[in-house]
Amino acid sequence: MNNIIEAKNLVKTYEQGRVRALDDLNLEVRRGEFVAIQGPSGSGKSTLLHMIGALDRPTSGEIFVCGMDLTKVKNLDEFRSKKIGFVFQLHNLIPTLTALENVLIPMFELKLKKKEKINKAKELLKLIGLEKRLNYIPPKLSGGERERVAIARSLANDPEIILADEPTGNVDSKTGEKIICLLRDVNKKKGTTLVVVTHDSVIAEHAPRVLKLVDGKIV
Amino acid sequence: MSFLTLIFKNLFRNKIRTLLTILGITIGIITIFTLSSITEGLKKGYTELLKAGKADFMIGQAGIADLMFSTISEDKAEEIRNIEGVDNAVGVIMTAVPIENMPFFVVMGIEKEVVDETEISGIEIIEGQSFAKEAENEILLGKISAKNLDKHIGDKITLAGKEFKVTGISETGSVWQDGGAFLSLKTLQAMQKKEGKITMIMVKKDVDADIHELTQRIEDTYPDELVTIKSIDEISKVDKGMQAIDATTWTISLLAIVIGGIGVANTMIMSVYERTREIGVLRAVGWKRRRIISLILGESFFIGILAAAVGALLGTGVIKLIMLVPQVSAFLEPSYSINIFTRALGVALLVGLFGGLYPAYRASRLSPLEALRYE
């Protein structure tokens, strides 16, 4: 199976069915692909991301990620810690921890030696060009730098998929472009599948494939 | 970065709040620490009294609330001495009188021959000599009281309206005796209007006699009349006050746990609430619920441990301050046994556990979706 993400007739409703966030959605993403999902707010982008990232379960329909049927996986925590890397809209770093320590956070669930973890975190921060900022805490970093640390963190568990939710939502357009380029580089160099949710059309231009989401459906 | 480092860093994000919480528990710990070491000190006082000299056990009146009220007929000492298995038995009268500015001055009436017989009395004369036989106005002063009252051999001292001349300074190792004085048995009996009566009997058994069998036999011979006390654990037979103090200490410990626990719970709930999104992120990057629970419980445990350390330190200081008062140091020698430290630490850890349980549970129920909520 070449599709790393496969959704069939995916439905997610909220408030006892009154709100239909995802409406019979079908989606296929191949391993190593870079896909941007674009749509206005309220179109169901975030909900779709929750489904793919195993943060929430669908109301009905099927969703397979990395070959696993997410409607049947019992331990979603474990699935996430092994397969998924998240980049959030707000960088969501822990303000009292250094860049290096923030990247170490997802590694608590990994069976690696302390030394190996630190080396890996340093390598990731080098990859995103922050090797000189290892011991800076987030308040001492610029918005773009923080977002880059968040990207390094998302790679800490060697995920098969990176899910980015408006990764450029909080930075100016120039920095935004750098970040999207960085994500694209990661996608190319590491072959990690990349799904970016955004309403920003400029960002979407960088993606080889853009899906438009309207009212919970891909159009 | 280890898990412990993370716990530590989290705790000191809001330094003031954490310190105030620690302070809250610390006050409880100081109270427990101080009370416990005073209680232990009192027990130690009794133990020393029991063990002063080489008496194997003592005998008091049955069914009394405080050893000071114990009254036994003088003849009983003679009778006990004749019991098989008893090597020697001597009667003493004991009372506490106020002297100068001291409210609690232990005076023991004892026969001059017994004073000289160190084998059973345990009295060592470190200066001067004992009072003369049946001397009516001579006193043997304990070394602590000699120092506190600044009295030397030949000085006069007034006790319950009667003047005495200091003939010697003694030491037994018992803080009550060293902080008090010895008089002739007859003299103290007369002063107390208790002619022919004694407070307790100090008994030395034959080398090969079995102490349990012997004490049992004595109690069986004098049911409802005499009780034997072999060790501090049996002190409640003649001192109900000690039980009351023990009960009070435990009640206060319990209160401290409850109050401290509420404080910790409040702090941790606030802290979890403030970190909702952050905990969501931890869950989103794959942290299991169990790890979140460990994190929050770890933080509240750490508050407890810090409070125990600070509490023990300050508690020691408070006791040192109390001991500066001569009236107290005359009858109390605080005890810093490992027991007390263990109790303080135990209480602090319980506070951490109680206070952390609910917040940890709350944190573990947070959805990873919280990380992606942007309002």
- Please give the average per-residue pLDDT across B222-236, as a whole number: 84
Q: Which candidate in B285, B291, B373 is best for mutational testing of the A interface (most A CBs within 10 A)?
A: B285
pLDDT at B375 over 60: no
Using alpha carbons only, what angle is made at residue B223 by residues B219 and B226, rounded to the nearest 5 degrees? 60
* Between residues A129 and B47, the one the model is more confident about: A129
Distance from CA of A114 to the nearest CA of B (A): 8
pLDDT at site A200: 78
* B112 at A interface, C-beta within 8 A: no
Q: Which residue stretches of chain B are H helix?
A: 3-11, 15-51, 75-81, 112-116, 118-121, 143-149, 175-178, 185-191, 211-221, 240-274, 276-284, 289-323, 326-329, 338-365
Structure tokens at B313: 């330190």
Least confident of A71-80, B39-48, B248-257: B39-48
* A26 at B interface, C-beta within 8 A: no
pLDDT at site B51: 67
- Contact assessment for residue A53 and residue A84, using Cβ atoms and an 8 Å cutoff: yes
* B4 at A interface, C-beta within 8 A: no
DSSP for B34-92, please give it. HHHHHHHHHHHHHHHHHHSTT-SEEEEETT-SSGGG--EETHHHHHHHTSTTEEEEEEE
Q: Which residue type does B203 have?
A: V
Most confident of the ranges A165-174, B255-264, B318-327: B255-264
Pick from A51, A57, A66, A88: which is nearest to A213 by CA?
A51
Question: Residue B60: beta bridge partners?
Answer: B227
- Please give the average per-residue pLDDT across B136-161, as a whole number: 90
% of chain B at pLDDT higher than 90:
39
Using alpha carbons only, what angle is made at residue B213 by residues B207 and B218, rounded to the nearest 5 degrees? 100
Say yes or no for a CB contact (<8 Å) between A89 and B374: yes
pTM: 0.76
Using alpha carbons only, what angle is made at residue A8 by residues A7 and A14, rounded to the nearest 5 degrees? 85
pLDDT at site B85: 92
Question: Looking at residue A154, what DSSP letter applies?
Answer: H
Say yes or no for a CB contact (<8 Å) between A80 and B2: no
For chain B, give the mean pLDDT: 87
> What span, in angstroms and rounded, lies between the C-alpha atoms of B146 and B323?
17
pLDDT at site A1: 57
pLDDT digits (tens, 9 = 90+) for B79-113: 999 999 999 899 999 998 888 777 778 899 999 98
Residues of chain A falling short of pLDDT 50: none
Structure tokens at A150: 């968040």
Largest CA-CA distance found in chain A, in angstroms, rounded: 51
Distance from CA of A50 to the nearest CA of B (A): 8
pLDDT at site B330: 66
Residue B249: band (very low, low, confident or very high) from pLDDT cuts 50, 70, 90: confident
Say yes or no for a CB contact (<8 Å) between B278 and A55: no
Q: Which residue type does B333 have?
A: E
Distance from CA of A208 to the nearest CA of B (A): 26
Count of positions (residues) in chain B: 375
Question: Residue B39: beta bridge partners?
Answer: none
B193 in the Ramachandran plot: left (φ > 0), alpha (ψ -120 to 50) or beta?
A: left
ipTM of this predicted complex?
Answer: 0.88
Q: Which residue type does B42 have?
A: L
- Please give the average per-residue pLDDT across B206-218, as a whole number: 91
> What span, in angstroms and rounded, lies between the C-alpha atoms of A102 and A138?
9
Among A90, A92, A108, beta carbon nearest to B291: A108
Contacts of B3 in chain A (CB under 8 A): 108
pLDDT at site B374: 55
pLDDT at site B286: 83
Residue of B nearest to A166 (CA): B372
* A170 at B interface, C-beta within 8 A: no
Residue of B nearest to A93 (CA): B278
- Contact assessment for residue B334 and residue B41, using Cβ atoms and an 8 Å cutoff: yes
B226 in the Ramachandran plot: left (φ > 0), alpha (ψ -120 to 50) or beta?
A: beta
Least confident of B152-161, B181-190, B228-237, B252-261: B228-237
Say yes or no for a CB contact (<8 Å) between B286 and A77: yes
pLDDT at site B37: 84
